[in-house]
């Protein structure tokens, strides 16, 4: 439910309505606007006493939100959310490229790759120190040693860091080192992890589950926002279909659908989306054209020797080509890519 305040409602009147909402056992989310303040209400399991709310001083109207998602929806926040990662803004006019290897393998590996990413204009370095692998016998990541290497990348190249938290135990450690906490496809519906990420002050990159509908995807984001963290970046990374020419099917149509329903930024991951190096640049072109706010791309200096996801990792040269291409397309679709 949304409460619309009178244009001239005072801060005291807004606070009074919020107090009354709390007394009713509900949660109030004040949303200041250019013309008037609205107050989002969550926590109502049944019909709220609308007459009582309408009788409060300063209240103009009530809008019932019938969709299951509240805080992620444009009904609650009509303006695009711009997630500010220490000055790198995701969801505004700039198209932001996050790139790096699938996993942190060594200090040298990260430094070589990060240097190229910074040189060609990537803004955020990606690499997993905790890896959710299909097989328990596959490389599981370097853990805190990997996070320390990522911290060094940030200091040396000025790149921001996005890295995955795979469980609630290690999430606080990841939050200490990362600029953005990644929640992977396999954990999209790990509600305790989502809630814990929602309690941090770090932006969260939430990847779509490999068999998740858009409603499930947005409801997962709602868990994070419901805990008070509105800094969420969605990531379309492909879903499982009958197609076997690619690892997953990058669902590009998700981008305009999500943008219509939600104010949250959304980026595309053409690496996991295709699983094939040669398809990463074509799908990146499509991603910027369809309205994505950025990319998450896997890059490796020696993909044949990568410890994970080598076949989908683009080379350093290909990364340069990718950035040049994004820079050419960006102005055509009203974006910048610096």
**Among 307, 327, 298, which Cα is nearest to 113's?**
298
CB-nearer residue toward ligand PEP: 267 or 281: 267
Bridge-based pairing state of the strands 2-5 and 38-42: antiparallel
135 to 194, contacts with Mn ion by CB under 5 A? none
Cβ-proximal residue to Mn ion, closest one: 102
Classify 7 as helix, strand or coil: coil
Which does residue 219 bind out of ligand PEP, Mn ion, none, counting CB within 5 to 8 angstroms by kind? none
Among 70, 196, 247, 272, binds ligand PEP (CB under 6 A): 272
| DSSP code string of 43-70 | --SS---HHHHHTSTTEEEEE---SS--
Examine residue 53 and tell whether it contacts ligand PEP (CB under 6 A). no
Examine residue 247 and tell whether it contacts ligand PEP (CB under 6 A). no
Residue 325 contacts by C-beta under 8 Å, 6 or more apart in sequence? 281, 284, 285
Examine residue 128 and tell whether it contacts ligand PEP (CB under 6 A). yes
Compute the distance between CA of residue 279 and CA of residue 312 in angstroms, rounded to an integer.
8
Compute the distance between CA of residue 46 and CA of residue 183 in angstroms, rounded to an integer.
31
Q: Tokens 């040693």 correspond to what residue?
A: 145
Q: In this structure, are residues 161 and 124 in contact, taking their beta carbons and an 8 Å threshold?
A: yes
Among 146, 184, 203, 294, binds ligand PEP (CB under 6 A): 184
Which does residue 259 bind out of ligand PEP, Mn ion, none, counting CB within 5 to 8 angstroms by kind? none
Among 237, 247, 300, 301, binds ligand PEP (CB under 6 A): 237
**Phi, psi (5° rounding) for residue 156?**
-75, -40
262 to 281, contacts with Mn ion by CB under 5 A? none
Q: How many residues bind Mn ion (CB under 5 A)?
A: 2
CB-nearer residue toward ligand PEP: 40 or 265: 265
Minimum gap (Å) between residue 217 Cβ and ligand PEP: 12
Dihedral sign of CA atoms 16, 18, 19, 20 in order: positive
Examine residue 300 and tell whether it contacts ligand PEP (CB under 6 A). no
Stretch that binds ligand PEP, among 87-95, 152-160, 178-186, 225-233 (CB under 6 A): 178-186
Stretch that binds ligand PEP, among 64-72, 105-113, 137-145, 182-190 (CB under 6 A): 182-190
Among 309, 319, 326, 329, binds Mn ion (CB under 5 A): 309
Integer CA distances (angstroms), 23 to 9, 20, 26, 28, in order = 21, 5, 7, 10
Examine residue 101 and tell whether it contacts ligand PEP (CB under 6 A). no
Compute the distance between CA of residue 64 and CA of residue 2 in angstroms, rounded to an integer.
6
Minimum gap (Å) between residue 275 Cβ and ligand PEP: 10
Q: Draw the binding track, 89-118, toward Mn ion (x: CB under 5 A; -: no contact).
A: -------------x----------------
Compute the distance between CA of residue 113 and CA of residue 151 in angstroms, rounded to an integer.
14
Which does residue 92 bind out of Mn ion, ligand PEP, none, counting CB within 5 to 8 angstroms by kind? none
CB-nearer residue toward ligand PEP: 207 or 335: 207
Beta strands in the chain (DSSP E): 2-5, 27-31, 38-42, 59-63, 83-85, 88-90, 96-100, 124-126, 160-164, 180-183, 204-207, 232-236, 266-268, 294-298
| Site of interaction with ligand PEP (CB under 6 A) | 102, 128, 132, 184-186, 207, 237, 272
């Amino acid at each position: 439910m949304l409460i619309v305040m009178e244009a001239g409602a005072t801060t005291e009147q807004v606070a009074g309505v919020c107090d009354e909402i709390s007394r009713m056992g509900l949660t109030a989310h004040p949303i200041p606007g250019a013309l008037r303040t609205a107050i989002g209400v969550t926590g109502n399991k049944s019909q709220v006493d609308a007459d009582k709310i309408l009788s409060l001083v300063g209240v103009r109207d009530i809008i019932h939100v019938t969709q299951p998602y509240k805080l992620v929806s444009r009904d609650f926040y009509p303006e695009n959310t711009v997630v500010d990662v220490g000055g790198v803004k995701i969801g505004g006019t700039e198209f932001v490229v996050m790139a790096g290897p699938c996993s942190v393998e060594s200090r040298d590996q990260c430094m070589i790759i990060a240097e190229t990413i910074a040189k060609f204009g990537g803004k955020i370095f990606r690499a997993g120190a905790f890896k959710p692998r299909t097989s328990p016998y596959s490389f599981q990541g370097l853990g805190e040693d990997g996070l320390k290497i990522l911290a060094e990348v940030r200091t040396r190249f000025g790149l921001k860091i996005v890295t995955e938290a795979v469980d609630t135990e290690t999430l606080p450690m990841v939050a200490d080192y990362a600029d953005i906490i990644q929640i992977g496809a396999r954990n999209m519906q790990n509600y305790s992890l989502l809630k814990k990420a929602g309690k941090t002050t770090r932006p969260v990159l939430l990847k779509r589950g490999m068999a998740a509908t858009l409603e499930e995807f947005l409801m997962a984001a709602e868990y994070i926002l419901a805990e008070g963290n509105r800094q969420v970046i969605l990531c379309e990374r492909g879903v499982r279909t009958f197609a076997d020419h690619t690892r997953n099917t990058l669902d590009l149509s998700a981008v305009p659908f999500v943008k219509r329903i939600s104010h949250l930024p959304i980026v595309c991951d053409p690496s996991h989306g295709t699983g094939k190096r040669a398809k990463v640049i074509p799908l990146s072109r499509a991603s910027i054209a369809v309205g994505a706010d950025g990319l998450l791309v896997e890059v490796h200096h020696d993909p044949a020797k990568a410890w994970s996801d080598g076949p989908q990792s683009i080379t350093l040269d290909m990364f340069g080509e990718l950035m040049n291409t994004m820079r050419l397309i960006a102005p055509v679709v009203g974006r910048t890519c610096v």
